[in-house]
A and B are shown apart, each in its own frame.
Chain A
């Protein structure tokens, strides 16, 4: 406790009253943050922790304002709500500002704001002056903790979109990737929409996250990838009119991963006597290799079984099917390819 007795007689009744009502009386040793949420007083490092008590500014542009202390660490007091000036703007508490810490705890009336000591679940309020962003959240009530303490272990969920309730990013959860204690700035994986001033969030330790929540964590993203990799049977097709040159029908020249073409079907209905065509299948079996001939089949004249089916095989680096007229006239050939995607 540090309470002034300057100008008081030793038996003055004011002295015990001051001691009863004040926990600390001091002058800032340096400037607080520009958000108006911290008070720097080096001597506080020699005092017990005053978290939870009200602090009152006695000089400067915020003179007379009282705020609750949300943290008291190493000579820096952090308050839940910023001090403000006559214009209502955030007021930085500059060096040599007089202040006192009052010996009062809340009782009756509305409950005090949640204390932001580090917990597995913490409440955060985005600063009124915060720029809208999908990745940067400034929450002065969560300032004052050591830098990076939340990185990669905590998640932020937007629990209330202040200007558009129910609209994204409300409900979304993203991992914290960086934390700056001086300003209470959290950097997260990107939300799908901007987090904005006065939005309410909770900061959650990963140990509390359950599968029922919408979590875009690495683990869940991996699961998404696996689920999305479940093959879907798809087909495409077209009509190819032959020429003397070899022409593509179905081709997948550069698959994104292993995939499974199933069958190529070609209708030879239009073939007449004297026509000959060659169907070829090529595959590439290395990333730098060429499409190499895997099989070819020639069909001559009128076909009894007009629908030809050619089995295709799973591959990683590409498949190509072609058609070429080698005798007779050029005809239109309808083809269809079925594949798992």
Chain B
């Protein structure tokens, strides 16, 4: 029995889906329809696997300053100005004062969006999501993203209601922000999609393990998140 990838409800409007099943080399291919190709060349995380299941992952490693990039011109479809959602499986390691970046398309008060973690001195390890406007930005956070375990993290953004919800392991979390949460300004071809560091490619390094970063051009529902969690948690 087979089910087509595009016929799965959860894959509706999916725009990026990096399976990381190459296991070697310096390219990671997107199984979503746009066929983005992420380059690891010159800054490659290590190809690795989950011991128990054999699932292929990327291991970024502490202090190694590794990341993936997709050229800006190839990611105009990820230049969100409407509803969108971001997700990834991550096992983060935190370094004081450094917010490990999961993925971003610019992180400054200019344009784009970013999804990152941070071991906040007050709130503990948090997930943050940010949209950038010209000269300002909107940012939210949700708590309880510990180190030491693979976890499904991400957020769903509603551009009409201008609200955002963070998720962990298929469940919606209390998401803290000051409404309204404004839509990002489009970056155009000038900004890459980066996975594992921020747009200067010099800081906010993600450390440890990551699998299957994804992006959708729609707001994933609670049921969508739960479906992903139920479908994939057995790997870890």
Confirm or deny: A286 has a beta carbon within 8 angstroms of a beta carbon on chain B.
Answer: no
Q: B24 near A228 (CB under 8 angstroms)?
A: no
Please name all residues of chain A whose beta carbon is closer than 8 Å to the beta carbon of B43 when the two chains form the complex: none
Please name all residues of chain A whose beta carbon is closer than 8 Å to the beta carbon of B29 when the two chains form the complex: 236-238, 250
Please name all residues of chain A whose beta carbon is closer than 8 Å to the beta carbon of B47 when the two chains form the complex: 253-254
B106 to nearest A CB, angstroms?
25
Q: B5 near A233 (CB under 8 angstroms)?
A: yes
A251 contacts which of B8, B24, B169, B235 (Cβ < 8 Å)? B24
Binary contact readout B33-70 vs A (1 if CB under 8 angstroms, 0 otherwise): 00101000000000101100111100000000000000
A232 contacts which of B8, B23, B27 (Cβ < 8 Å)? B8
Confirm or deny: A192 has a beta carbon within 8 angstroms of a beta carbon on chain B.
Answer: yes
Asked, given contacts A253-B24, A318-B23, whether A232 binds B230 with beta carbons under 8 Å apart, the answer is: no
Q: B234 near A221 (CB under 8 angstroms)?
A: yes
Name the interface size band of chain B. Answer: 20 to 34
Please name all residues of chain A whose beta carbon is closer than 8 Å to the beta carbon of B232 when the two chains form the complex: 228
Q: A232 near B2 (CB under 8 angstroms)?
A: yes
A340 to nearest B CB, angstroms?
6
Name the interface size band of chain A. Answer: 20 to 34
CA–CA, A168 to B174, complex, Å? 12
Asked, given contacts A192-B170, A228-B231, A236-B31, whether A252 binds B22 with beta carbons under 8 Å apart, the answer is: yes
CA–CA, A237 to B5, complex, Å? 14
Confirm or deny: B4 has a beta carbon within 8 angstroms of a beta carbon on chain A.
Answer: yes
Q: B21 near A252 (CB under 8 angstroms)?
A: yes
Q: A234 near B31 (CB under 8 angstroms)?
A: yes
Please name all residues of chain B whose beta carbon is closer than 8 Å to the beta carbon of A224 when the two chains form the complex: 230, 234
Q: A238 near B169 (CB under 8 angstroms)?
A: no
Nearest neighbor of A231 in chain B, beta-carbon distance: B2
Confirm or deny: A165 has a beta carbon within 8 angstroms of a beta carbon on chain B.
Answer: no
CA–CA, A232 to B231, complex, Å? 12
Confirm or deny: B3 has a beta carbon within 8 angstroms of a beta carbon on chain A.
Answer: yes
Confirm or deny: B179 has a beta carbon within 8 angstroms of a beta carbon on chain A.
Answer: no
Please name all residues of chain B whose beta carbon is closer than 8 Å to the beta carbon of A236 when the two chains form the complex: 19, 29-31, 35
A interface list, Cβ under 8 A from B:
168, 192-193, 221, 224-225, 228, 230-238, 248, 250-257, 318, 340-341
B interface list, Cβ under 8 A from A:
1-5, 8, 19, 21-25, 27, 29-31, 35, 37, 47, 49-50, 53-56, 169-171, 230-232, 234-235
What 5 A-B pairs come out closest when comparing CB atoms? A253-B23, A254-B23, A256-B54, A253-B24, A234-B5
